[in-house]
């Protein structure tokens, strides 16, 4: 059993870039929306739960910050009276940047209509993509004032892609598909923002414990955690950067990346910046290589080899007096928990239990030099503010005496 250490603070600095905006006002709309966020202990995938279809069915979906839209397995028991396929060349197809428009030769039904447009839903864990029909159906989730959930609200025409059963291979048990949270207009956050008329913004608070439940907020704060801590008050913002070259496994030519890049310019260990090759920290505008992105489908922050080496060297120097123990994959540096009491933030690492440096070597020519993974985001609130083109980080909520698992999910009347 290995516990991980979440060591260096990432010092994040700035560049500017205005982008994406969303829209106006109407009556009786929810202030914000809320969804649960859990961690699957076996795959380390982060999952949410949304209701889809008529009659409504709760679905577990993997949260993917790089996903372009929501896709679900339509092959097994998709029953709904409100499903509608997207007719070829309709505005739904252009909104989804659908590329195909064809015939289906397997048994007709949901996911197999003729003259319907389609896309190529992707499973980032297996690297598989396949054809999937675009359709709309009802999607519902609880509204919130930021303190507790309240009544369910519905989008009767939520756009998503169908996928065949095999695309769910490699996903956590009981999962129906993937909820895309990227920057496209059909990603989950943008569709909800457009439908419920709030600025396009969402916040993730990843739980550190597979037995507890974190939260996803769609729309404005507060983002409240017991005992009455509003995490939106501790956000520090950095500009959201755009990589002009797609980083997707499958994409249309000329598309930018729809992932969330930020400008990390320095990494500090114990207050001292480690030496880094600055070229690697910058996005190369011609090739799309380099830079830093945030990912919920990578378990541990993954660093280009030279960055990884500088960081492990600095880290092992800072922990020179703590006994090393045999490392467990995928880590290289592990310590006896006994010596770590004063050096880390987070739950205790007991004596006799390994505490590993929770970063992974990403090789010498990765597409993106730093991929901030789920583990380093846990018990931090991260706000993706598309309307203002910025990303906000609360620092660890443990310093504020709360955790991501302290949202009050008891519904208020």
Of the pair 33, 112, the CB lying nearest ligand NAG is at 112
Q: Out of 226, 236, 275, 345, which residue is the one contacting ligand NAG (CB under 6 A)?
A: 226
Specify the residue, 369 or 376, whose C-beta has the smaller distance to ligand NAG.
369
> Which x/- pattern, by CB under 6 A, does the window 152-171 give for ligand NAG?
--------------------
Residue 173 as a binder of ligand NAG (CB under 6 A): the answer is no
- Span interacting with ligand NAG, options 6-14, 48-56, 111-119, 327-335, rule CB under 6 A: 111-119
Q: Least distance (Å) from ligand NAG to the CB of residue 187?
A: 28
User: Among 203, 280, 334, 340, which residue sits at the site for ligand NAG (rule: CB under 6 A)?
Assistant: 280
Judged by CB under 6 A, does residue 320 bind ligand NAG?
yes
The Cβ of residue 144 has, within 10 Å, a number of other Cβ atoms equal to 28
Q: Mask of contacts with ligand NAG, 330-359, x by CB under 6 A?
A: ------------------------------
What residues does 154 pair with on adjacent strands?
A: 140
Give the whole-angstrom CA distance, residue 277 versus residue 109: 54
Selection from 304, 365, 308, 364 nearest residue 331 by Cα: 308
Q: 161 and 70 in contact (C-beta within 8 Å)?
A: yes
Q: How far apart are CB 269 and ligand NAG at their closest, in Å? A: 11
The region that residue 96 occupies, defined by phi over 0 for left and psi between -120 and 50 for alpha, beta otherwise, is alpha
In angstroms, the Cα distances linking 223 to 33, 41, 69, 344 are 11, 25, 25, 26
Interaction between residue 102 and ligand NAG (CB under 6 A): no
> Which residue from 249, 277, 287, 323 is in contact with ligand NAG, where contact means CB under 6 A?
277
- Measured between its terminal Cα atoms, the distance across the chain in Å is 42
Which of 54, 100, 148, 305 lies at the binding interface for ligand NAG (CB under 6 A)?
Answer: 148
- For residues 53 to 92, the per-residue mask of contacts with ligand NAG, x marking binding by CB under 6 A and - elsewhere, is ----------------------------------------
Judging by beta carbons within 10 Å of its beta carbon (0-12, 13-18, 19+), is residue 324 exposed, middle or buried? middle
Q: Residue 238 or 402: which CB sits closer to ligand NAG?
A: 402
Position 279 contacts ligand NAG (CB under 6 A): yes
Q: Is 161 exposed, middle or buried (0-12, 13-18, 19+ CB in 10 A)?
A: buried
Q: Considering the rule CB under 6 A, would residue 105 count as an interface residue with ligand NAG?
A: yes
Binding-site member from 321, 329, 342, 352 for ligand NAG (CB under 6 A): 321
Q: Which is nearer to ligand NAG, 167 or 280 (CB)?
A: 280
User: At residue 233, what are phi and psi to the nearest 5 degrees?
Assistant: -75, -20
DSSP assignment of 68-88 equals SS-EEE-TTT---SS-EE-BT
Peptide bond between residue 120 and the one before it cis (omega within 30 degrees of 0): no
Helix (H, G, I), strand (E, B) or coil at 204: strand
- Considering only 74, 98, 112, 334, the residue that binds ligand NAG (CB under 6 A) is 112
Instruction: Using the rule CB under 6 A, give the single segment among 100-108, 120-128, 243-251, 330-338 that binds ligand NAG.
Output: 100-108
Distance CA 205, CA 217 (A): 8
Residue with tokens 């998503």: 160
Q: How far, rounded to the nearest angstrom, does the alpha carbon of residue 258 sit from its chain's CA centroid?
A: 12
In this complex, which beta carbon is closest to ligand NAG, that of residue 95 or of residue 241?
241
Which CB sits closer to ligand NAG, 304 or 385? 304
> Residues in contact with ligand NAG, total (CB under 6 A)?
17
- Sites of contact with ligand NAG (CB under 6 A): 103-105, 108, 112-114, 148, 226, 277, 279-280, 320-321, 408, 410, 412
């Amino acid at each position: 059993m290995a516990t991980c250490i979440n060591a260096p603070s990432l010092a994040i600095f700035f560049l500017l870039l205005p982008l994406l905006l969303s829209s106006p006002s109407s009556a009786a709309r929810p202030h914000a929306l809320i969804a649960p966020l859990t961690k699957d202990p076996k795959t380390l995938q982060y999952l949410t739960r949304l209701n889809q279809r008529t009659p409504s069915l709760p679905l577990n979906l993997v949260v993917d910050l790089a996903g372009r839209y929501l896709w679900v397995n339509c092959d097994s028991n998709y029953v709904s009276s409100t499903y509608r396929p997207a007719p070829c060349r309709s505005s739904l197809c252009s909104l989804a940047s659908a590329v195909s428009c064809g015939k289906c030769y397997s048994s007709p039904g949901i996911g197999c209509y003729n003259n319907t447009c389609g896309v190529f839903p992707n499973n980032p864990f297996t690297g598989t993509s396949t054809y999937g029909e675009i359709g709309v159906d009802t999607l519902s989730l609880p509204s919130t004032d930021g303190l507790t959930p309240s009544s369910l609200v519905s989008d009767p025409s939520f756009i998503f892609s169908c996928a065949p059963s095999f695309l769910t291979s490699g996903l956590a048990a009981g999962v129906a598909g993937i909820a895309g949270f990227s920057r496209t207009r059909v990603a989950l956050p943008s569709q909800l923002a457009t439908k419920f008329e709030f600025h396009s913004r969402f916040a993730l608070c990843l739980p550190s414990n597979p037995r507890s439940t974190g939260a996803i907020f769609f729309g404005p704060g507060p983002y409240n955690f017991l005992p009455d801590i509003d995490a939106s008050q501790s956000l520090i913002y950095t500009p959201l950067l755009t990589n002009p070259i797609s980083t997707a496994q499958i994409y249309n030519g000329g598309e930018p990346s729809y992932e969330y890049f930020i400008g990390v310019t320095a990494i500090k260990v114990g207050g001292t910046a480690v030496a880094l090759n600055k070229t690697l920290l910058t996005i190369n505008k011609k090739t799309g290589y380099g830079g830093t992105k945030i990912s919920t489908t990578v378990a541990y922050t993954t660093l280009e080899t030279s960055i990884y080496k500088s960081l492990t060297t600095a880290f092992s120097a800072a922990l020179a007096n703590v006994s090393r123990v045999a490392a467990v994959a995928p880590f290289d540096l592990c310590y006896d928990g006994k010596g770590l009491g004063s050096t880390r933030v987070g739950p205790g690492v007991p004596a006799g239990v390994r505490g590993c440096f929770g970063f992974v070597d990403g090789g010498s020519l990765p597409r993106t030099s730093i991929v901030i993974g789920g583990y380093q985001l846990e018990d931090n609130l991260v706000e993706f503010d598309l309307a203002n083109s910025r990303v906000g980080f609360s620092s660890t909520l443990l310093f504020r005496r709360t955790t991501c698992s302290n949202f009050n999910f008891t519904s208020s009347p």
